[in-house]
Amino acid sequence: MTGGTRLVGEVAVPGAKNSVLKLMAASLLAPGRTTLDAVPDILDVSVMADVLRGLGAGAERDRAGGRIVIDIPEVVDATADAELVRRIRASVAILGPLVARRGEARVALPGGDAIGSRALDIHMNGLTKLGAVVDVEAGVLVARCSGRLQGASIWLDFPSVGATENLLMAGALAKGTTVIDNAAQEPEIADLCALLTAMGARIDGAGTSTLVIEGVEGLRPVLHRTVPDRIVAGTWAIGALMTGGDVTIRHGRAEHLGIVLEKLVGAGAVVELVEDGFRVSADGRPRSIDVVTLPYPGFPTDLLPQVIALEAVSEGISLITENVFDSRFVFCRELHALGADLRTDGHHVVVRPTPRLTGASVLASDVRAGAALVLAGLMAEGTTVVRDVHHIDRGYAHFVENLTALGAEIRREPSSVAAA
């Protein structure tokens, strides 16, 4: 890609990656055909569909129409394909549904992005309180339950999104009442609650830190529309500010990005609500801002790389603090290769202003880092090449095509290397 072009125009936000994969896992709870709409055309959806097929389910995907139909048989396999599971972290979401339906689950320790350790202890401890016996055997999570899971009161040591989702799905079919305290409050959790409720689950407290689930004996398949992707929307908003552009983000929900948009306004953006979305415009070089990541409704860790890229082209010194993952700053060395002036120290990175970024060949280490490097490349003089863009494909549908439509000078090489 070649830097120096403002992003101007409209872009549509698809359903959320961080929601749809869990909705697909939740389909395991109800025999029959569950249909999901607003499904993003991303690599992780294809992998999760293959995971479900490996368990005996059918999965028909209409990529152009953004729909997937998942056909769950009366009896599903309890053992997930290890190679597929290790490709995406979200695959661990099948653990709770399988234990609830089958009384047994064998799920390889999941893979995903190289952004630090994400312990599964919270998942395991919660399922244990629900009556399952959970162990790790030769790199495989094994959960067993003799009979039906039993409702319990569970306090999460950290408001883990994945653990909240797994225990929510398991509790939906458990006998009695399950209470999850210090639960994650992300919009994706509320979306999962909406799906489960439509399926017949009894859930109170969606969107709060306390979830109360009255277990039922069975659930039914439904049609559900995935919540829009707030991280994709936030990425476009940051790109508009970085480039001094003017972008209308259709289907974006400003209410899901409260602190993010507040920070961007502080950096010089103008944010305007429009029909079915919001608009972000800017003029001139952004002002520096300090950011601290926290669980929702705090600043999301999935927008941290993008905001560091923003700070690399902003006026003034900024301090960025990461409180969720311990290796988010790995990508900073790639940003440094583009000329960014930054220094990391534990969970902090200090970013100082630099006259300009310069094009270089850099490596995408994860989904969000890849997107951030592309945004930085849009601001760099000369040509920037981003390698290993398959990571970007895991979370951003038609990323290059959308950027081109917004005016970016960018192309994708047949070798799956994004050049600009």
For CA atoms 195, 199, 201, 204, give the dihedral sign: positive
Amino acid at residue number 385: V
Neighbours of 111 (CB within 10 A): 14
* 22 annotated as ligand-binding: no
3-state secondary structure of 324: coil
Neighbours of 75 (CB within 10 A): 10
The phi and psi torsions of 299 (rounded to 5 degrees) equal -70, 125
Q: Is 113 a catalytic residue?
A: yes
Judge whether 363 and 370 are in contact, CB under 8 Å: no
- Helices 17-26, 95-102: axis angle to 10 degrees equals 10
Q: Which of 44, 71, 113, 366 is catalytic?
A: 113
Burial 193-226 (b: 16+ CB within 10 A, else e): bbbbeebebebebbbeeebbbebbeebebbebbb
> What are the start-end ranges of the E strands in 198-259?
202-204, 210-214, 223-225, 246-250
Measured CA distances, 219 to 40, 100, 175, 282 (Å): 25, 11, 14, 48
* 302 annotated as ligand-binding: yes
Separation between Cα atoms, residue 320 and residue 217, nearest integer Å: 47
* 17 annotated as ligand-binding: yes
* 129 annotated as ligand-binding: no
Give the annotated binding-site residues for phosphoenolpyruvate. 17-18
Give the annotated binding-site residues. 17-18, 89, 302, 324
Catalytic positions: 113
Give the annotated binding-site residues for UDP-N-acetyl-alpha-D-glucosamine. 89, 302, 324
